[in-house]
Amino acid sequence: MLFFELIRIALGRQETFSHTPSDKEWYELFDEAKRQTLVGVLYEGLSRISPDQKPPRQLLINWHATVQKIICDNKRLNHDTIWVSERWEKLGYRNVILKGQGNALLYPDPMLRIPGDIDIWLDGDRKKIADYIRSRFPKLEVTRIEMDFPVRKDTSIEIHFLPSFLYDPFKNSKMQHYYRQQLAHPKRVELPDEGVINIPNDEMNLVFQLSHIYRHLFFEGIGLRQLMDYYYLSQILTTPAGVKLKQAVQPVIQELGLKDFCSALMWVLGEVFNMPKEQMLIDPNERRGRFLLGEVMRAGNFGHADDRVGNWAKMSRWERLTWGTRWSWRLVGQYPREVFWHPYYRISQYIWRLFNGYL
């Protein structure tokens, strides 16, 4: 597949295309790059392509213009990330930035990763945080996991009470205990030209981002940008400290019931990104991986291109429960335990919100 070849060329894992793309194929590659939100990082790879295989001039101009907007968006997100982190620190809440601009630092050029929203995990009493935000925005939805914090005009900010979760209540309890332990040991990083933020340490990041991708497979959908994030994150496993890191993470993945999904993800990263075996957390599983890759290519970034996904915002609570249960059922052959617990999670979420006055 030419698109996978373009990814490998951009990553330095392949030198040339197997055949010279036609102009039509180049425009299709650009469209798929937009669908998978990889326009910026793949643009960097165009300089590695031989002159006879480069895209048509007009497409290069359009691609360059898109990249300039991505760079501007990253500057804004970096500024807003520092701002929201410092704001909550002044209010007395220790915080960690999840994914987003922290992930961008994993890339050779952080300014080329297409930014999304800001996810900030706060260490504090959930009710106090929610009540503070709702004192300004009374109609905001609150869940046990997160809520919006709409204080910036052009930037979506999500407040996380928990980094991620599992439908299975027993596995989820273990997951939250693990995250609480890791919260005491964040990693300090510097955003380009802005300042310093906390992000998850390397061990937690490997577990958290795996669980985040897993969760989106059930709920919305996942794209290759999330997988590319994990590809770059996994490069830490090739360092001298990587062996110890693997030994620390593997039992956690096993205990949380994420091993099957991890094996599928490793296969996709090897197949699409040509990731070497020594960079993989565990052995890949081709059968599970092919299923996952099919979902990724159909869904696009966060499922925005998936015609199977309903309009969640316009659904009633009952429709969300029934549609979500049917949607997760497609995964019963891959991850039956999570599928089984999905209705329980939705019902318990409703009861929790009802009891706390958040309906």
Say which residues have a Cβ less than 8 Å from residue 246's Cβ, sequence separation at least 6. Answer: 237, 281
Say which residues have a Cβ less than 8 Å from residue 234's Cβ, sequence separation at least 6. Answer: 206, 269, 275, 279, 280, 281
Note the pLDDT tens digit of each residue in 258-275.
Answer: 999 999 999 999 999 999
Per the prediction, the chain carries an average pLDDT of: 91
Query: What mean pLDDT do residues 5-30 have?
Result: 94
CA dist., res. 31 & res. 313, Å (int): 26
Look at the alpha carbons of 342, 148, 103, 195 in this order and tell me if their dihedral is positive or negative.
Answer: negative
CA dist., res. 103 & res. 125, Å (int): 27
Paired tokens of 202:
């390397």
To the question of pTM greater than 0.85 for the whole model, the response is yes
Query: What mean pLDDT do residues 102-123 have?
Result: 95
Query: What mean pLDDT do residues 24-31 have?
Result: 96
Note the pLDDT tens digit of each residue in 294-348.
Answer: 999 986 555 444 555 555 556 666 666 677 778 888 999 999 999 999 989 988 9
Hey, what amino acid is at 315?
M
Confidence (pLDDT) at 350: 87
Note the pLDDT tens digit of each residue in 120-179.
Answer: 999 999 999 999 999 999 989 999 999 999 999 889 999 999 999 999 999 999 999 999
Which of residues 61 and 315 earns the better pLDDT score?
A: 61
Q: Assess whether pLDDT exceeds 50 at residue 110.
A: yes
Query: What mean pLDDT do residues 77-100 have?
Result: 96
Cα end-to-end distance, the chain, whole Å: 47
Q: Where are the domains of the chain?
A: 1-55, 77-200, 202-309, 314-359
213, 233 contact by CB (below 8 A): no
Q: How many residues does the chain have?
A: 359
**Phi then psi for 199, rounded to 5 degrees?**
-130, 165
Q: What is the largest CA-CA distance in the chain?
A: 65
Query: What mean pLDDT do residues 73-82 have?
Result: 96
CA dist., res. 81 & res. 145, Å (int): 20
Query: Is domain 77-200 classified as CATH 3.30.460?
Result: yes
Angle at 53 between CA 47 and CA 57, to 5 degrees: 75
Say which residues have a Cβ less than 8 Å from residue 341's Cβ, sequence separation at least 6. Answer: 166, 167, 168, 169
HSE, CB side, 13 Å, CA atoms: give it for residue 326: 8
What confidence category does residue 287 fall into, taking pLDDT thresholds of 50, 70 and 90?
very high
Confidence (pLDDT) at 45: 87
Hey, what amino acid is at 193?
D
Distance of CA 3 to the CA centre of its chain: 20
Say which residues have a Cβ less than 8 Å from residue 346's Cβ, sequence separation at least 6. Answer: 320, 321, 324, 325
What confidence category does residue 6 fall into, taking pLDDT thresholds of 50, 70 and 90?
very high
274, 265 contact by CB (below 8 A): no
Confidence (pLDDT) at 304: 47
The C-alpha R_g of the chain, in whole angstroms, comes to: 21
CA dist., res. 119 & res. 215, Å (int): 15
Say which residues have a Cβ less than 8 Å from residue 38's Cβ, sequence separation at least 6. Answer: 7, 114, 224, 225, 228
Confidence (pLDDT) at 115: 93
Confidence (pLDDT) at 1: 85
Note the pLDDT tens digit of each residue in 214-242.
Answer: 999 988 788 899 999 999 999 999 888 89
